[in-house]
Amino acid sequence: MTAALDTGTVRQLARACGFELAGVAAAVPSTDRARYHEWVAAGFAGEMRYLTDRRAGVRDDPRNLLASAQSMICVGKLYQTPWPYSTQWNDRERAWISRYAWGADYHDVVRRGLEQLDGVLRQRTGPGYESKICVDTAPLLERSYARMAGLGWIGKNTCLINQPLGSWFVLGELLVSLRMEPGYLLDPPPPDRCGTCTRCIDACPTAAIVPGGRDPLGRDFTIDSRLCISYFTIELRGTVPEAQRSEIGSHVFGCDICQDVCPWNRRAPVTAEPAFAPREFAPPLERLAAVTEPEFRSMFHGTPVTRARYAGFLRNVAVAMGNAGLAKFREPLERLAASQDTAVAEHAHWALQRLICGPGC
Ligand code: B12
Ligand code: SF4
Ligand code: SF4
């Protein structure tokens, strides 16, 4: 037998474990699951096989992850720091790494907080308590459940946005065998507050925010990953399509533009989590182009950047150098063009070509 817990208490406990946002959703299939399968069927997942293989079906029901799950505690952790937005930044000599990847890897930080919360709940509820921690990588429709748990609405940029806190937060979940009153039984999920705004759609350099197709009035949007800079620079292995390379600008890992321009982030609060403080803000491209593989590993150890892998990162640095068009990048690009890795070499050749004949070629 397990003792009952209410959502308000869980929210307080989650706050004590470092989560600014918390709520409870029922651990049942999400009504959004059809959208997910349509998104995959439309090819929007690109080459991210973890979204399209057998794990696509696992997403249909959280009980595929924990058979005894009755509730899902959804948490959000702020990572915003007091540094400029990419849209306020214009230094062609430096690399833009997206905001969430400046400090410690959020997977580790959120997991630690959820382990703490899990421990407290276990103590309070006694035998029979079962749980599972999920942070990003589990086949779970995180934004759908977080919306149902009352954490925010899904904006046209597809990010979950909270009215006072903006969208600079990451999500995590604790699936539990406890029965609790879900957030949306107490309050309905927050209403959509995008209104007629289209700033994110207008600002996206690669037009990756496309109509979702579900809403007859065309208010519904989704991301075509095959056009998204975040996908190119983090997830895609091998070749970045030439047609999009010039739009990538100085991004070497991820992209923040559709959140930078969002009015709900204008007064977004800064995180109290020291682990998210930047190790180095906008490192010089020239230095990044010269890092060896062991240096790359130690420079970005414990941050999300390692996900790009060494070759992918150098490929991204080459593209950013080509977009900068600075003559001083010729020598480092010539070194990258001699790389054993064919993708790094090819992107460096492309970049060298741009130094010679300008961005239009
Ligand atoms: C694959 C993935 C990506 C892909 C695809 C992005 C995408 N929009 O799907 C790429 C690599 C491009 C990506 C980029 C980024 N990602 Co990402 N990503 C994921 C991942 C692993 C799966 C997302 C997914 O299932 N996509 C498929 C689509 C169909 O799902 P969806 O957009 O979430 O939509 C579902 C619901 O939200 C709902 N829905 C969508 N729109 C609407 C509208 C209405 C009106 C309603 C009712 C419902 C609804 O239906 C959909 C089906 O369930 C999640 C973690 C997870 N396990 O969920 C993180 C996640 C979404 N990413 C995250 C982050 C931080 C980012 C980046 C900001 C990183 C960066 N700086 O580069 C960018 C943001 C780009 C963007 N605008 O989305 C966070 C988002 C936090 C937040 N506040 O929203 C997540 C939740 C990771 C985490 N644990 O914190 N990501
Ligand atoms: S992350 Fe960048 S490329 Fe992707 S949708 Fe947002 S603005 Fe467009
Ligand atoms: S920029 Fe505007 S349309 Fe886009 S998510 Fe923010 S409020 Fe919504």
Q: Which residues carry out catalysis?
A: 136
Amino acid at 49: R
Ligand 3 centroid distance, CA of 248 (Å) = 21
Q: Whose CA is nearest to atom 8 of ligand 3?
A: 194
Residues 130 and 200: their CA atoms lie apart, in Å, by 41
Directed axis angle between helix 106-125 and helix 7-16, to 10°?
A: 130
Ligand 1 centroid distance, CA of 48 (Å) = 13
Q: Whose CA is nearest to atom 65 of ligand 1?
A: 170
Ligand 1 centroid distance, CA of 223 (Å) = 8
Residues 205 and 275: their CA atoms lie apart, in Å, by 30
Where b means 16+ CB within 10 Å and e means fewer, 254-263 reads bbbbbbbbbe
Residues 144 and 118: their CA atoms lie apart, in Å, by 22
Give Cα 253 distance to the centre of its chain: 11
Pocket of ligand 1 from Cβ distances under 6 Å = 30, 32, 35-36, 39, 48, 51, 98, 100, 135-136, 140-144, 154, 157-160, 167, 169-171, 192, 220, 222-223, 225, 228, 230-231, 234-235, 254-256, 258
264 close to ligand 3 (CB < 6 Angstrom): yes
Structure tokens belonging to residue 1: 């037998």
Ligand 1 centroid distance, CA of 71 (Å) = 21
Split the chain (361 residues) into runs of 10 and give each run's mean pLDDT.
75 98 96 94 97 95 98 98 93 97 98 98 93 97 97 97 98 96 85 95 97 66 97 97 97 98 97 95 97 98 98 98 97 98 98 81 59
Ligand 3 centroid distance, CA of 10 (Å) = 30
For the chain, what is the HEC assignment?
Answer: CCCCCCHHHHHHHHHHCCCCEEEEEECCCCCCHHHHHHHHHCCCCCCCHHHHCCHHHHCCCHHHCCCCCCEEEEEEEECCCCCCCHHHCCCCCECEECHHHCCCCHHHHHHHHHHHHHHHHHHHHCCCCCEEEECCCCCCCHHHHHHHCCCCEECCCCCEEECCCECCEEEEEEEECCCCCCHHHHCCCCCCCCCCCCHHHHHCCCCCEEECCCCCCCCCEEECHHHCHHHHHHHCCCCCCHHHHHHHCCEEECCCHHHHCCHHHCCCCCCCCHHHCCCCCCCEHHHHHCCCHHHHHHHCCCCHHHHHCHHHHHHHHHHHHHHHCCHHHHHHHHHHHCCCCHHHHHHHHHHHHHHHHCCCC
pLDDT of residue 2: 52
Yes or no: say if 206 and 258 are a contact pair by the CB < 8 Å rule: no
The bound ligand whose nearest atom lies closest to the alpha carbon of 258 is 2
Closest-lying ligand 1 atom to the alpha carbon of residue 255: 72
Q: Which residues contact 304 (CB under 8 A, 6 or more apart)?
A: 100, 101, 105, 106, 107, 253, 254
200 close to ligand 3 (CB < 6 Angstrom): yes
Mutate to test the pocket of ligand 3, among 158, 168, 193, 198 (most ligand atoms within 8 A of CB): 198
Q: Whose CA is nearest to atom 5 of ligand 3?
A: 155
Give Cα 6 distance to the centre of its chain: 30
pLDDT of residue 215: 60
pLDDT of residue 1: 43
Mutate to test the pocket of ligand 3, among 194, 202, 257, 259 (most ligand atoms within 8 A of CB): 194
pLDDT tens column, 153-209: 999 999 999 999 999 999 999 999 999 988 888 788 999 999 999 999 999 999 999
Yes or no: say if 81 and 276 are a contact pair by the CB < 8 Å rule: yes
Q: Whose CA is nearest to atom 2 of ligand 2?
A: 255
pLDDT of residue 218: 57
The two beta strands, 251-253 and 96-97, are: parallel
